[in-house]
């Protein structure tokens, strides 16, 4: 049997071990007590003090809230994957409407499928065992477990062509300009329906699609130009460098930068490479060239891609530091990376952040994200 002195000795030993760990600068992990969690904010705050994926998800909330509370930080949201087909469009709207992001870089398909939803049309559940050849014949396109009727995309094309027919052909087009027009259409014709491009238009948030022709809307512009040529009418000129100039000139004015990434791909790389781009301008053309050494101070990435495949979707923020894209943690950089299906982790992170911010008055007011399509000395 152990007497009370033995118990006291064990307690003293445990205290000494805890004190030593704290003196070494270590932070304890704590049990997740669900009975003490009343909302998503409290749940994720507790998860941040656990381990594995739970900790990374909780830390992602911490970083998103830190970006939102920093009045000098402009946040870029980058989107890849079929997130609007997967019904995450209103999560994007919430981030825009509540001031969590000031610019969006996306795949074209994601914006096209989101536009479908914003006009009141629907996507449908795929049932296991459906024949893909039969789906094609009946006019359905499959995205994993969801179906997009071809008629939806034809509807988008009709709206797109109506906008393009009224376009002044002397004005060169870029994705940001067209997305703004699509947002205007939604605001005018679907005032009671929420939509990504509508929220972006209303909040002055530019939406860039770097791989524009890799989308239904991009192909629609190409087909429209063929119709114009057949009719002997002038084509609409499209210049993707207008997007780059608009984005980079806005970034060059920002004090601190944050990025919130879903997936990876072209949107992530295009958004991140602005740092090297501005640095090369400064080095090659001098300060009069409009360059400015710029790094992302904050970053949140939600993506299941592991780093060992070597692709950009799985690239760590640490690797990005070596490219001059991110401020290293040793100099104040703050990053969180969540290896998860975005349809699971993303809504939790955003909901928790919005609840935490609501308790302290919301996100800090931010300066508008303003760029120029054509840089002038």
Q: Quick one: three-class SS letters along 201-260?
A: HHHCCCEECCCCCCCHHHHHHHHHHHHHHHCCCCCCCECCHHHHHHHHHHHCCCCEEEEE
Q: Within 10 A of 61 (CB to CB), how many other CB atoms are there?
A: 28
Report d(CA 265, CA 299) in Å as an integer: 16
Q: Report which of 340, 272, 269 is spatially closest to residue 303, judged by C-alpha positions.
A: 340
Averaged over 333-339, what is the pLDDT?
95
| pLDDT of amino acid 227 | 95
- Residues 289-330: tens digit of each pLDDT: 888 888 999 999 999 888 888 877 888 888 889 988 999 999
Which top CATH class is 32-358? Answer: alpha beta
pLDDT digits (tens, 9 = 90+) for 41-56: 999 999 999 999 999 9
Domain extent listing, the chain? 32-358
What mean pLDDT value characterizes the chain? 92
- Give 76's strand partners: 103, 259
Look at residue 19 in the predicted model and tell me its pLDDT: 76
Write out pLDDT tens, residues 89-105: 999 999 999 999 999 99
pLDDT exceeds cutoff 90 at 2: no
The model's pLDDT over 236-280, given as tens digits with 9 standing for 90+, comes to 999 999 999 999 999 999 999 999 999 999 999 999 999 999 999
Residue 136 is inside which H or E element, if any? Answer: helix 132-137
Predicted local confidence at residue 177, as pLDDT: 97
- Higher local confidence (pLDDT), 2 or 269: 269
- Whether the pTM exceeds 0.75: the reply is yes
- Residues 186, 194, 249: CA angle, nearest 5 degrees: 70
């Amino acid at each position: 049997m152990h007497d009370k002195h033995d118990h006291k000795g064990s307690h003293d030993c445990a205290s000494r071990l805890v004190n030593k760990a704290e003196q070494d600068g270590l932070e304890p992990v704590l049990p997740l007590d669900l009975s003490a969690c009343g909302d998503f904010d409290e749940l994720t705050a507790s998860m941040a003090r656990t381990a594995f994926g739970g900790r990374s998800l909780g830390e992602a909330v911490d970083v998103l809230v830190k970006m939102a509370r920093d009045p000098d930080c402009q946040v870029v949201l980058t989107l890849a994957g079929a997130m609007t087909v997967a019904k995450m469009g209103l999560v994007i709207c919430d981030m825009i409407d509540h001031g969590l992001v000031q610019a969006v870089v996306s795949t074209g398909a994601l914006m096209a499928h989101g536009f479908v939803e914003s006009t009141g049309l629907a996507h449908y559940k795929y049932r296991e065992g459906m024949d893909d050849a039969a789906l094609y014949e009946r006019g359905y396109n499959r995205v994993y477990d969801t179906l997009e009727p071809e008629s939806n995309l034809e509807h988008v094309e009709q709206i797109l062509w109506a906008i393009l027919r009224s376009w002044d052909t002397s004005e060169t087009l870029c994705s940001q300009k067209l997305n703004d027009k699509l947002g205007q259409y939604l605001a005018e014709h679907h005032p009671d329906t929420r939509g990504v491009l509508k929220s972006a238009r209303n909040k002055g948030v530019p939406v860039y699609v770097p791989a524009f022709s890799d989308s239904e809307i991009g192909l629609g512009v190409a087909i429209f130009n063929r119709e114009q040529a057949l009719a002997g009418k002038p084509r609409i000129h499209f210049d993707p460098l207008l997007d780059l100039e608009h984005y980079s000139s806005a970034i060059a004015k920002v004090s601190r930068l944050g990025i919130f990434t879903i997936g990876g791909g072209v949107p992530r790389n295009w958004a991140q490479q602005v740092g090297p781009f501005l640095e090369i301008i400064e080095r090659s053309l001098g300060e009069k060239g409009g360059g400015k050494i710029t790094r992302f101070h904050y970053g949140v990435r939600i993506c299941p891609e592991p780093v060992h495949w070597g692709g950009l979707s799985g690239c760590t923020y640490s690797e990005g530091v070596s490219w001059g894209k991110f401020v290293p943690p040793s100099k104040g950089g703050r990053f969180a990376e969540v290896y998860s299906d975005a349809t699971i982790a993303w809504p939790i992170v955003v909901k928790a952040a919005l609840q935490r911010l609501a308790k302290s008055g919301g996100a800090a007011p931010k300066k508008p994200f303003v760029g120029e399509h054509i840089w002038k000395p």
